[in-house]
């Protein structure tokens, strides 16, 4: 894999990741923060498996809890 292919792949992945996150959070700034935090954690762990479960927890942790119906 060439550097250009790698860079293209990463750029496409980041765009898809941000789109995925943005659809689940209330604003662009939160989506940007979560995208950056996720990429940093992936880089630090060197393991793509991080993206599955912990990302859901990070998104859920940023959203307000639903109010129970009375």
pLDDT at 70 exceeding the cut of 80: no
In the prediction, which pLDDT does 45 show? 77
Summarize the chain as % helix, strand, coil (round to 5).
Answer: 75, 0, 25
Residues 38-58, mean pLDDT to the nearest whole number:
68
pLDDT at 55 exceeding the cut of 70: no
Predicted TM-score of the model (pTM): 0.63
The Cα 8–Cα 55 span in angstroms is: 23
pLDDT in tens, 21-45: 999 999 999 999 999 999 888 877 7
Other C-beta atoms closer than 10 Å to the C-beta of 28 total 10
């Amino acid at each position: 894999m060439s550097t250009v292919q790698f860079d293209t792949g990463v750029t496409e992945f980041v765009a898809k990741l941000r789109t995925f996150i943005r659809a689940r959070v209330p604003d662009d700034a939160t989506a940007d923060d979560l995208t950056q935090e996720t990429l940093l954690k992936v880089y630090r762990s060197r393991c793509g498996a991080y993206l599955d479960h912990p990302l859901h927890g990070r998104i859920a942790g940023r959203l307000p809890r639903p109010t129970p119906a009375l």
